[in-house]
Structure 1
Amino acid sequence: METVGRPGLRDQDEPGPRPLRPSTRRRAGDLLRRVRTAEPDAPQGKAWRPAGRPARLRATYTRTHGVRHMLAALDLATGRMLYRIRNRKRWGEFLDLLKVLRRTYPGQRLYVILDNFSPHKRAEVLTWCAGNNVELVFIPTNASWLNWIEAEFAALRYYALNGTDHRSHDEQGQAIARYVRWRNARARPKRGFAINSKIRSPDWQANYQAKVSC
């Protein structure tokens, strides 16, 4: 945590909903083991299947188990991530996360960097922030890449979710929790965002300001 009295910077965002495939059939990995047992001389590539039996992932357009939403914040001073998983993603859930951040980082002004999702601008949220020393810093529209937490979501999807076939939301949540514990144990302060990017150029910044003021 930063020294008490210094402003705390926190990136905040909510990735897309986390669906489950609507079936209780065994996972693809179980099927692969059964195929290898029946045909031990078969090639061992992880995507191999017998002729006419391609590897398949079940569709998610019928979400009989519903979806879950992950609301998360990234502490730029330590690199650690704090998150909550909820059934909905409304202003109430967002405000609850802000209250958790306020309790976690007391005694300093919090700057929360986030996008222009409408629940973030709800009157109740803005009123609470004004009374609790929290400032919401909204990034420009269509510029989500400016929020450092987006890269963390990409890593989470890659290491914890891609190619999975979780049988329940609890199981999916456990996979997310294992990854977050692992990354937080190895977290480092976030510094030097887009060091070599053209957005660091004074000329580019001046031109950008001129464009947005038109």
Structure 2
Amino acid sequence: DALLGLLAIAAGHAVMLGVMVMTPIHIDAVVTAGHAGHAGHGGGEAQADVLRLVGIVFSLHVAGMFAFSPLVGYAADRLGRRSVLSAGAVLLVAACLLASSSGDRSAQLSVALLLLGLGWSCTLIAGSTLLTESVPEAVRPSAQGLSDLVMGLGGAVAGALSGVVVSLVGYPALAAGAAVIAVPLLAAAWPRARRAAGATVSG
């Protein structure tokens, strides 16, 4: 369970950060291309639209990351850490697939980034709780420090590689690839969540 918690923290953060950091680049490219196809739309107007859309998308993303944290914590207590972790992995996969297929649909991209933030919140809260509960009390501070280190390293690698991926194959491929990273997390968490639920019902 400690390893699963650590995996959830690292994978959730890497998926979220990898997609998030390249989203403004994608928005800029899509909006600029859209304005280029319409006569009379200048560069200044395009940039204003980019800034507005980035503000909306990232406001929703940050809301997904933090606004629902009390509810996520409550769900982790009521439904179990593994169940919330599994839900977070599902949300991350859905968010990445929505972002990958969003094209010039800003509403779809906004929903994708909202779900991306919420999925991150679920994996971080449930993963952190699972990790600390699964190790002896004496080593919990060290375990939390290790999780912060692994999360930071995962985010740094994802952030660095995401720019390379977008430059080579584009934002849709990046988002689809991020979904692939989240699938093993779901595969690891879901069977344990079902076993835990079954044990609760039996008890």
* TM score, norm. by length of structure 2: 0.31
Which of 1 and 2 has greater Rg?
1
More helix per residue: 1 or 2?
Answer: 2
- The answer to which structure, 1 or 2, has the higher relative contact order (CA under 8 A, 6+ apart) is 2
